[in-house]
Structure formats: structure tokens, C-alpha cells
Structure 1
């Protein structure tokens, strides 16, 4: 989970009009937050903090869950899950801008090579695209 996103969510009271539909829907889902620094109580209705090896925690959650799991934010967590073979889908959102920001780290820097099979595309507002891929470790 994005630390900045969680700070924004936690700063607004639950009945706040500042929540958009997506945040409201996300806030009403059970959440497991993998962290070595956070402590409770959390300003999240159904949240559990899990500490320890993230890959082992997520592998157990995947095994026990009846529904697909999602990971938001935390590039380091997502990189470790990808490396452990625990990622079934990668959702990439493309925003039609050119940043040119020097010194920015590539998102998957240091990750293994994966082939990506395109599963689904969706275009929002005639500009922004959401692409869903299935990753397979490149042989």
C-alpha cells in the first residue's frame, strides 16, 4: 500500500466527502498491510497488520483466499512478490504525458526478465489506458 495514499486516506474521517468511489470501495474491503514499521490501531475498518517475510505472508493469503488479492503501491513489496512468482496479473495504467524527470528509478529496476501476455485493455477518457498482463518468467 502506498504510504502517501494511506496517509491521505487516514487523514480524512470515514464519512468524509473527500473519498471518491474507488477509495470508498477499497476502504470497505478487508486489508492486510505488510509492514515492518506500522503499528495499530489503524484508521481502516477491516485492516490487519502483518509483519515478517512478505512473500510467505502473501503466499499464505493467496492459498486461503476465495477471491483474487490486489497489491497497491509499495514497489519493493510488488518487486519481491514478482520475484517469488506470486503475481498472477500486472495492471499498468498509461497516462498520456511525457515527464522527462531525470534521475527517476525505473519501476522494475533489478527485477528478473518476464514475458507479459496481454489479457485485457481498457481506455478511459479517450486518453488513459489500463493494460492487464499475465507475467511469465522469461526462460
Structure 2
């Protein structure tokens, strides 16, 4: 059976990106980049918006506000290009132009449920906040990992990750610090029917 990892990089205040900020908020370091390079092979799951963004980068579209890719960003996009990707969308047209991408028009929750039961490798999300929220609500997420970068993007932050989430209990399974400033925490999530003191009136 496959394992499903929801994987986010965030600012300290829970934003997935920020206007005017480069990839990794420009704060990645050698320890973090080395760790990224050691990650096991996975099939990456994403929705249409993330696909459009990342496939654009793969085709040479430079992130807004930058004149060119930074080497770290270029390496990350190239690694994703080589990886197997499953894209859930009813609006994208076939064939998908980004290499190693498969389009699935079926319900994402049921499709991932089937992928988990019939597979054996790691499934890992990339971006795709609404997809991650749906998979978590359905109880399909085995591992929930957040890498927090030391910045608060109160003025420029976009894509608030946890908006619309249910209440979730988190059992910590791993934590570490990279480069003296980047914090990784990984949990086993459990969706709660109600908070400990009972359902709100």
C-alpha cells in the first residue's frame, strides 16, 4: 500500500508564498538543499493551478519579479520534470506538455484512495492547497510535513495554507533544523470530529 505525504514549505505565519519573495523565500542553505537531494523517489500529486505554475517554470517562464532563475530554483524544477506526476483537473486539456505528467479527471479523493490501495511507492503532494485539504479531510494523509522558513509575510503573504482546514490532532514523528534557521516538523495527522471540550454550540 502506498503512503501519502502532504508536504508544505511555509513562512512562519503559514503562507505558501509571498509577493516579491523568491523561491524558498531566498533563505535556503546548503544543509536544506542537501536534504532535498536525498529525498526518496515519489509520485507527485497536484491540481491544475500548481501544474500551470510549475510547468510554466519548466518551460522557461521566470518567476514574477525575477530576471532569471536562481540555480536552486532551476535544480528544483529540473528534478520535478524528471519525476512522475499526477495532475487532477477537469479544465486542463490533454496531452499535458510537461514531461512525465498524467492527467486524471476523476474525483481526486477517490483516485488517490485507489492509488494508495493498489500502489507501493510514496505519493507526495506539491503545492495544491485545495487538493491537500480534501485529502486530509478524507483521512487519506499518512504524513504531514511542514518546512518553516524564518520570515513573517504579514504584508505580502499569499495562499494561507490552513484556511478551511478541519481541526486536526498531530502526533510528531520527526523534527530537525537546517542551516541554523529552517525548521522541519513532520506529523501523523488525525482529523477530529470535534475539539476536546465538545462540539461548538
Q: Which TM-score applies when normalising by structure 2? A: 0.59
Determine which of 76, 84, 97 is the counterpart of 1:30: 84
More strand by share: 2
Structure 2 CA distance for aligned equivalents of residues 75 and 30 of structure 1? 20
Structure 2 CA distance for aligned equivalents of residues 46 and 63 of structure 1? 22
Dislocated runs of 4+, deviation >6 Å: none
Equivalent in the alignment of 1:4: 53
Say whether 1:123 aligns with 2:199: no
> CA offset at residue 112 of structure 1?
1.4
After superposition, the Cα gap between the structure-2 partners of 1:110 and 1:104, relative to the gap in structure 1 and judged at 3 Å, is: same
Q: Given that residues 147 and 183 in structure 2 are in contact (C-alpha distance below 8 angstroms), is that contact kept between their aligned partners in structure 1?
A: yes
Q: Given that residues 57 and 77 in structure 2 are in contact (C-alpha distance below 8 angstroms), is that contact kept between their aligned partners in structure 1?
A: no
**How do residues 1-139 of structure 1 correspond to structure 2 at under 5 angstroms?**
1=46, 2=50, 3-11=52-60, 19-20=74-75, 22-101=76-155, 106-139=160-193
Structure 2 CA distance for aligned equivalents of residues 40 and 11 of structure 1? 21
Structure 2 CA distance for aligned equivalents of residues 103 and 94 of structure 1? 14
Q: Given that residues 10 and 43 in structure 1 are in contact (C-alpha distance below 8 angstroms), is that contact kept between their aligned partners in structure 2?
A: no
Q: Given that residues 55 and 81 in structure 1 are in contact (C-alpha distance below 8 angstroms), is that contact kept between their aligned partners in structure 2?
A: yes
Q: Secondary structure at the match of 1:91?
A: strand
- RMSD of equivalent CA atoms: 2.5
Unaligned runs of 5+ in 1: none
